[in-house]
Amino acid sequence: MGLRLGDTAPNFKAVTTIGEIDFYDYTEGSWVVLFSHPADYTPVCTTELGRTAQLKSEFEKRNVKVLAVSVDPIDSHHGWVNDINETQNCEVDFPLIADPDRHVSELYDMIHPNASATATVRSVFVIGPDRKIKLTLTYPASTGRNFNEILRVIDSLQLTADYSVATPADWNHGEDVIVVPAIQTEDIPAKFPKGHKVIKPYLRTTPQPNI
């Protein structure tokens, strides 16, 4: 059975494009995006890794470390990174994990036999500083990942980890949020002094509390 939300993300040691790392040591105290690629020198993944590199400052300001994994060996990774930097006008400086023995891929259930018996599917894991899995996404090979959505989800996860709120459909940073049902309506003003709206007894909104 694969990893589920709330499970502890397994630790591992791996050879990467920035050297050998211990996953827990490398990501200590940070949020993490771990995402997999079926193979090196694939066109959609080339654009994804380039986009990730272009968004470096966005991940950094959210205290997020990004790691990518592919089952190809490290020499192949280094060559692919050169191509990514050239074609996507970027500088890939986050770790690309070499996983030829499929240790990491199997640890995170990234190989789905109905899709491929040997290559990883295109999974995304968002992991909190507590090492718990907060989000999982799996994309088909033909559809590039939406990194604006990944950043949006991280914004929501970080906000809702600190405040008794949830985020509505299509929410973006700076918009109103939902007060969780566990808070009584009469207690909202003390907890959320910016004000609130009661749309229905179970649907109460308030301005985003951390801005």
What is the spatial distance between Cα 7 and Cα 22, in angstroms, rounded to a whole number? Answer: 19
Q: At what angle do helices 74-88 and 43-54 cross, to 10 degrees?
A: 70
Catalytic residue among 3, 32, 45, 66: 45
Token digits of residue 42: 């694939």
What is the spatial distance between Cα 168 and Cα 181, in angstroms, rounded to a whole number? Answer: 14
Element (H, E) at 75: helix 74-88
Residue 112 backbone class (left: φ over 0; alpha: ψ -120 to 50; beta: rest) = beta
User: Phi first, then psi: what are they for 91, rounded to 5°?
Assistant: -135, 105
What is the spatial distance between Cα 19 and Cα 9, in angstroms, rounded to a whole number? Answer: 21
**Three-state DSSP class for 82?**
helix
Contact 16, 98 (CB under 8 A): yes
Say whether 90 is catalytic.
Answer: no
Cα distance from N-terminal residue to C-terminal residue, the chain: 40
- Give all strands of the β-sheet with 165-166 in edge-to-edge order: 165-166, 177-179, 203-206, 197-200
Catalytic positions: 45
